[in-house]
């Protein structure tokens, strides 16, 4: 992270903003274990008013290399003080769709990290009067995320080894490790065959 020479006023304003920020609603869902994640709109909804009410704004810009794209997130105070960090992603290919998806994913995580936003279920937020977007009848994995195929295969190989050992605790640990990364979990799920999917699902259920 890089910052302006002084960030005293910014830090004070961010402290006040974070005191009233809620969590980003997990309003999109994974179709297999019915778990949810917060999309870019939810992250913005969780922090926008608190930031602007305290003289803070966010600017995000893009950069790139031959193989990667980066999104820089700069938090700016009305005093002119600022702090900035960059998230780098490697799209699955050079198509506009893949590059755009990587940028959107980086925007979401860069904004959440910069503001301290966390993901939350909607029950408590609904009680506080926040608007909860309705779930689609056929929820889909996060379309913003471009997965690393090598990591997917590593997870899938680990799951296969755990199935062979009937290591229920190990399979539950994999599910827990991917609890906030629904698109990666979905990619790992798709890499398994039908028998492996059944064994993984039953092991997770048995561990609950």
Q: What is the CATH number of the domain that holds 53?
A: 3.30.160
More confident residue, 58 or 41: 58
CA–CA dist 200, 167 (Å, integer): 10
For the chain, the maximum distance between any two Cα atoms, rounded to a whole number of angstroms, is 60
Are residues 23 and 103 both part of a single domain? Answer: yes
Name the residue among 149, 50, 146, 8 with its Cα closest to residue 89. 146
More confident residue, 24 or 123: 24
Domain total in the chain? 2
Would you say 57 and 76 are in contact if contact means Cβ atoms under 8 Å apart?
yes
Are residues 21 and 120 both part of a single domain? Answer: yes
Is the pLDDT at 131 greater than 50? The verdict is: no
- Span of 19-33, 42-56, 66-80 with lowest mean pLDDT: 19-33
Q: What percent of the chain has pLDDT over 90?
A: 25
Domain that holds residue 14: 2-127
Are residues 120 and 201 both part of a single domain? Answer: no
Are residues 163 and 123 both part of a single domain? Answer: no
CA–CA dist 147, 97 (Å, integer): 14
Q: Provide the pLDDT for residue 96.
A: 81
Backbone angles phi, psi at 59, to 5 degrees: -125, 130
Name the residue among 87, 90, 86 with its Cα closest to residue 67. 90
Would you say 40 and 144 are in contact if contact means Cβ atoms under 8 Å apart?
yes
For 142-186, write each residue's pLDDT tens digit.
555 556 777 778 888 888 888 888 888 788 878 877 766 777 788
Are residues 112 and 183 both part of a single domain? Answer: no
More confident residue, 92 or 16: 16
Name the residue among 72, 67, 94 with its Cα closest to residue 82. 72
Q: The pTM is what?
A: 0.57
Mean pLDDT of 86-114: 84
Establish if 171 belongs to a structural domain: yes
Q: How confident is the model at residue 105 (pLDDT cuts 50, 70, 90)?
A: confident
């Amino acid at each position: 992270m890089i910052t302006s020479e002084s960030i005293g006023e910014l830090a004070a304003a961010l402290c006040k903003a974070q005191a009233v920020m809620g969590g980003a609603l997990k309003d999109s869902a994974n179709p297999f274990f019915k778990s949810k994640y917060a999309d870019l709109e939810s992250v913005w909804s969780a922090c926008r008013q608190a930031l602007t009410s305290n003289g803070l704004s966010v600017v995000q810009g893009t950069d790139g290399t031959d193989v990667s794209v980066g999104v820089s997130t700069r938090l700016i105070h009305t005093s002119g003080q600022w702090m900035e960090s960059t998230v780098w992603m490697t799209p699955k290919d050079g198509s506009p769709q893949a590059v755009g998806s990587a940028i959107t994913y980086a925007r979401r995580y860069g904004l959440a990290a910069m503001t301290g936003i966390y993901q939350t279920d909607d029950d408590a937020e609904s009680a506080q009067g926040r608007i909860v977007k309705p779930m689609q009848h056929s929820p889909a994995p996060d379309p913003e995320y471009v997965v690393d195929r090598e990591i997917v295969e590593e997870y899938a190989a680990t799951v296969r080894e755990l199935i062979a050992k009937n290591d229920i605790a190990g399979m539950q640990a994999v599910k827990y490790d991917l609890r906030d990364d629904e698109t990666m979990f979905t990619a790992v799920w798709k890499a398994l065959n039908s028998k492996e999917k059944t064994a993984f699902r039953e092991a997770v259920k048995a561990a609950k």
